[in-house]
Amino acid sequence: MGQVISNMSMSLDGFIEDAEGRIDELFEWYTAGPVTTDSANEDIAYRQSAEDADFLQDSINRHGALVAGRRLFDKARGWNGSHPTGLPVFVVTHQAPSPQEWPHQDAPITFVTNGVASAIAQAKAVAGDKDVVIASPNIAQQALDAGLLDVITVDLVPYLLGSGTPYFANLAQKPVRLDNPTIRHGNRVTHLTYRVLR
């Protein structure tokens, strides 16, 4: 059985987007190198260092499904029906969009209206032995509070944003103890992986 992992690019001062909701600096490492890699979305390509390209592909290969929040889904405009990873996506939302609001009805995107635990359970069923990755800070926080998160990964970028949305805030139970990190260096990024200790 795979693990449940949260993953976000984060500034050195702990933010996953700036105060205006922009992520440009945080995603610089996706375009900071000579190696061009296509994604599952024809509108998105990566240009990374060889190390980061290998790291990203290794990560995607280990993942079997993705859980996201409705805010991310809306902000990304539903990735036009094709998430860059090519993974099936489970979107936690209070209300699924209508067919008029969401024209990509055949896309591998499922809207889950009965909470984070249900979205993770559905994603696990699809992922099989692979990992489920959470790509939204609020969903990751809810999963951590519910004891459903196994691993926290941080793509730490060398920027100080000063303000914005924190990766984790207002945790129900704190402090949360994590294991020592595994560290992988990249270009304009350091990849950190922490196992959640229960």
Judged against a pLDDT cut of 90, whether residue 170 lies above it is answered with no
The predicted structure's pLDDT at residue 42: 85
Q: What is the DSSP string of the chain?
A: ---EEEEEEEETTSEEE-TTS--TTTTGGGGSSSEEEE-SSTT-EEEE-HHHHHHHHHHHHHEEEEEEEHHHHHHTGGGGG--TT---EEEE-SSPPPTTT---TTSSEEEE-S-HHHHHHHHHHHHTTSEEEE--HHHHHHHHHTT---EEEEEEES---SSSEESS-S-SS----BPPPEEEE-SS-EEEEEEBP-
Average pLDDT (182-188) is 96
Q: What's the confidence (pLDDT) of residue 145? A: 95
Instruction: Specify the fold of 4-195.
Output: Dihydrofolate Reductase, subunit A (3.40.430)
pLDDT in tens, 27-68: 999 999 999 988 888 888 899 999 999 999 999 999 999 999
Q: What does the pLDDT read at residue 45?
A: 87
With 90 as the cut, is the pLDDT of residue 101 above it? Answer: no
State the pLDDT at residue 95.
Answer: 93
